[in-house]
Amino acid sequence: MNLILQALHDIPSAQVEHLAKLSSAARIEQVAPHLYCLRDAKPHAEIAAYCFENRLDYGFVPRDKHLSDFGLLVMDMDSTLISIECIDEIADMQGLKPQVAAITESAMRGEIDFAESLRRRVGLLKGLDEGALLRVHDERLQLNPGAEIMLAELKKHGIRTLLVSGGFVFFTERLKARLGLDFAQANELEIVNGKLTGKVCGKIVDAQGKADWLNRVREELGLKREQVIAMGDGANDLKMMAQAGVSIAYHAKPVVREQASYSLNFVGLDGLVNLLGH
């Protein structure tokens, strides 16, 4: 196994050497000032806490595992591909952000059922002008750091992309067009006479819905489970992540970090490329 170390800052050599010693690494390779590969390393109980304390992201990656082995990346939207929770920002237009954000947080931690939480949050938006959606998109929606680097690298390797969200089609479709994503799936807000009705159209894309879409697209592309990477940050991403060969917890809740193959707690989305690119 290789131990990949990465950070947003230059990693002090003393920290790298300490981790090389803990992991009994055969040799240290510096790939960039903020990126190291410790060859032939072995897991050690102290590594996780040491890395977290020093704001380092780490991952033990099999020597024969490369980006080119994969054919599909499935990712969540809110707080994963983008930095906001769209529904919280829409609620802000109604002066309801604290109430809606509290339900969002509870759902992300896995305390309440996602579909129920979505219905409750959308219900609070009843009567809001649909123009609020465009305002959130234009004024507040930003990609998380490293998103474009990651997507460019995936394209280079012919890896397809599926954006699957418990959020809304209004945003996923715009991101799909802007970023050249291959597939996108999300929920649709019911709008009548230019106003949100407080309801969601059709079947809600919840945790199981995300997992189902991953498998649907994987089968359509003729891929095996091992050829899929899934990335998310909240409890409603866990079922989807369990269906992938590799799962990435991105700046995620503890419940997600505990179950993922790898966690990116500090670096941007391009950390995926650093992790599997060596």
DSSP-assigned beta bridge partners for residue 60 = 3
**Distance, CA of 137 to CA of 134 (rounded, Å):** 5
pLDDT at 108: 76
Summarised one tens digit per residue, pLDDT across range 199-237 is 999 999 999 999 999 999 999 999 999 999 999 999 899
pLDDT at 104: 83
pLDDT at 61: 96
What is the mean pLDDT of the segment spanning 230-245? 96
Looking only at the bridges linking them, the beta strands covering 183-192 and 195-201 are antiparallel
Looking only at the bridges linking them, the beta strands covering 160-168 and 183-192 are parallel
Please state, rounded to an integer, the average pLDDT across all residues of the chain: 95
Cβ-defined contacts of 110-119 (< 8 Å, 24+)? 110/234, 110/235, 110/236, 110/238, 110/253, 110/255, 113/206, 114/166, 114/204, 114/206, 114/207, 114/235, 114/236, 115/204, 115/206, 118/87, 118/166, 118/187, 118/200, 118/204, 118/206, 119/200, 119/204
Give the torsion through C-alpha atoms of 164, 169, 173, 179, to 10 deg: -40
DSSP-assigned beta bridge partners for residue 195 = 129, 192
Percent of the chain with pLDDT over 70: 100
Point out the residues that are catalytic: 76, 78
Instruction: Please determine, for residue 274, whether its predicted confidence score (pLDDT) is greater than 70.
Output: yes
pLDDT at 278: 64
Where does the pLDDT of residue 111 fall: very low under 50, low under 70, confident under 90, or very high at 90 and above? confident
| Residue 106, token pair as written in the block | 């509870």
pTM of the model: 0.93
pLDDT at 39: 96
Summarised one tens digit per residue, pLDDT across range 23-75 is 999 999 999 989 999 999 999 999 999 999 999 999 999 998 899 999 999 99
Summarised one tens digit per residue, pLDDT across range 137-177 is 999 999 999 999 999 999 999 999 999 999 999 999 999 99
Run of H or E residues at 172: helix 169-179
Instruction: Please determine, for residue 86, whether its predicted confidence score (pLDDT) is greater than 90.
Output: yes
